[in-house]
Structure 1
Amino acid sequence: MFVSGYLLQLDASNSEKISRLIDNITLGKVIQGVLLVVLAYWGQIFVAKIINWLAEKVPLKYRLKVKQSLPFWRAFVLGIVGVSLINLFLNLSADNILPLTGTIAVALGFAFKDYASSVIAGVLALFENPYQVGDRVKIGDDYGEVISYGLRGIMLQTPDDNIVTIPHNKLWTESISNANKGNLEAQTVISFYFSHDVDIENVFYLLYRVAQTSKYTQLNLPILVVMEEKPWATYFKLKCYPIDARDEFIYQTDLVRRAKRYFQRDNLPYPILPPLDNN
């Protein structure tokens, strides 16, 4: 009985404090709050433009480092505005904040469950670094460059120049493949197929030279040619790195175009697939 009475008294006290806080919300405070929200919105845009502009001006080796600072600056702006809003309406005192904490937590927990999950995953991702701005990642069926890291999710720019928004809570359910992990270079792998009677040493030499002489190749990183025998062909893979991961598909095109020119010159035999059995 004593505990029950104490809880009722505590609940009445909290209700009184909440009521008093609501009464203190004036039109002037609401207008200030709206202005702070607008300021946060434009602040996010301004920070993104400044960081992206600066990333293109600094030396190439620092470009990704500058871009990867964008989530921090966005969180910094949101943090300042968030604290200002709380101070505006709650005066940041324990007597004002504690009565609302439980109520707000329950309300937000039900109303924004998925959003909260994405935000928490985004915070964890800042420490675990499965992806950063500038990384080339594959999440589910989507592949592209991370061009934006927001509070709820990231934006990928695909090879077809589409923008895909992916919530951070995919961390819980999807595997994430990262091609460059914060580095400028991302390994490019190109497949070639030839007949079993092809001159293997010549193929190795040509593929290595094609990569070595490309203007896009990062020569400080290894160039590797590997092969595998298939029932219908000899399979070669050329593994090398472009100087800038953003040139991935231009680099692939350059390598394939120049390689096929040499293959045609040396009359290298391509595999002939057996006819399909329609019976």
Structure 2
Amino acid sequence: MEKAVDQNLSRLFADLDTGVLLDLGIILAVAAVLIVSTQKALPWLANRLRGRRRYLLLALVPLLRLIIIVGAFLFMVPKIIEPSFQNMVAVLGSLGLALGFALKDYASSLVAGIVAIGEAPYRNGDWVEIDGIYGEVTHVGMRALSLVTPDDNLVTIPHLKLWSGAISNANNGSPQLQCTADFHLHPAHDAAGVLAALQDVALTSPYLAFDQPIAVVAQEQPWGTRYRLRAYPIDARQQFRFTTDLTVRGKAELRRLGITFAASSTAPDPEPTAG
């Protein structure tokens, strides 16, 4: 029986002589150089572009890495294993079974990573919110993605979240990203004047993308009226400067018009005094 097992193994694997080992080393070296080159060259070039071309170039990074890895694997397998149908079925079946039991979550993240590259719920350069974490996607790996938050924190999130959680994408591969500035006003005011003033505030912002719409939405609340000024900056990375500009200049313009802001009515009750 041991002889039969040895014979099966000998039929499964090819002879690993010096030439085969040299070929494997060359394949690995070429794949590593190509991956490192694309991960450094494409983001460097993309950061010197603007608009949609920057996002399209950044989105190529994970796709090219996946192509390189799959290509290297396809070149290496025939050199290690005798290329027969039975051998390939046996090896791939054993590999899948081992990954399924030993690395279930990791394998699930890898599969989700491949799905993420295909379906593109997020790409490099997108601003997304996952599990309450908001930031710009800077890297989409095979197992996880990396994003940088507005506080400049690098957060790594496994693609496994794709199966179980909602993913909010603010710009979805586009340079256009809607920003909102909130204003809470006392109910006694001229609503038409407020709408016109906030429209002018948006139109005079140096960050405004003029080819995108501007909207002012009003909503009555028990404490007053909430206005939401919605507009688009020229570049998604300007969103916080744009929102700050709208808020500061909008507040100044409303005060100039003599409009009173709503006061909070949620102050805590005074503590009882002893006596």
Q: Structure 1's 172 and 45: CA in aligned 2 closer, same or farther, altered over 3 A? A: same
SS of 2:210's partner is: coil
Which has more helix, going by share of residues? 1
My pick for the range that moved more, 96-105 or 45-54, is 96-105
With normalisation by structure 2, the TM-score equals 0.87
Q: Structure 1's 48 and 56: CA in aligned 2 closer, same or farther, altered over 3 A? A: same
Q: Structure 1's 184 and 167: CA in aligned 2 closer, same or farther, altered over 3 A? A: same
My pick for the range that moved more, 90-99 or 236-245, is 90-99
Q: Structure 1's 254 and 91: CA in aligned 2 closer, same or farther, altered over 3 A? A: farther
Aligned residue among 79, 103, 125 for 2:116: 125
Alignment-derived partner of residue 186 in structure 1: 177
SS of 1:227's partner is: strand
Contact 2:14-2:80 at 8 Å conserved across structures: no
CA offset at residue 174 of structure 1? 0.7
Provide, for residues 166-195 of structure 1, a one-character-per-residue CA deviation record: whole Å limited to 9, x for no partner.
Answer: 111111111111111111111111211111
1:244 aligns to 2:235 (yes or no): yes
Contact 1:17-1:99 at 8 Å conserved across structures: no
1:99 aligns to 2:90 (yes or no): yes
Q: Structure 1's 57 and 159: CA in aligned 2 closer, same or farther, altered over 3 A? A: same
Alignment-derived partner of residue 268 in structure 2: 276
Aligned residue among 138, 141, 145 for 2:132: 141
SS of 2:55's partner is: helix
Q: Structure 1's 126 and 13: CA in aligned 2 closer, same or farther, altered over 3 A? A: farther
1:16 aligns to 2:42 (yes or no): no
CA offset at residue 56 of structure 1? 2.9
Q: Which amino acid aligns with 1:171?
A: L
Q: Which amino acid aligns with 1:47?
A: T
My pick for the range that moved more, 74-83 or 218-227, is 74-83
Contact 1:14-1:99 at 8 Å conserved across structures: no
Distance in 1 between residues matched to 2:67 and 2:183, nearest whole Å: 49
SS of 2:47's partner is: helix
With normalisation by structure 1, the TM-score equals 0.86
Distance in 2 between residues matched to 1:81 and 1:57, nearest whole Å: 31
SS of 1:69's partner is: helix
Contact 2:13-2:81 at 8 Å conserved across structures: no
Structure 1, unaligned stretches of length 5 or more? Answer: 1-8
CA offset at residue 205 of structure 1? 1.4
Contact 1:18-1:100 at 8 Å conserved across structures: no
Q: Which amino acid aligns with 2:63?
A: F
CA offset at residue 261 of structure 1? 2.3
Q: Structure 1's 127 and 228: CA in aligned 2 closer, same or farther, altered over 3 A? A: same
Q: Which amino acid aligns with 1:156?
A: L
SS of 1:226's partner is: strand
Distance in 2 between residues matched to 1:202 and 1:30, nearest whole Å: 78
% identical aligned pairs: 35
1:48 aligns to 2:39 (yes or no): yes
Equivalent residues, number: 270
CA offset at residue 61 of structure 1? 3.2
Structure 2, unaligned stretches of length 5 or more? Answer: none
Distance in 2 between residues matched to 1:144 and 1:211, nearest whole Å: 24
Q: Structure 1's 143 and 15: CA in aligned 2 closer, same or farther, altered over 3 A? A: farther
My pick for the range that moved more, 137-146 or 251-260, is 251-260
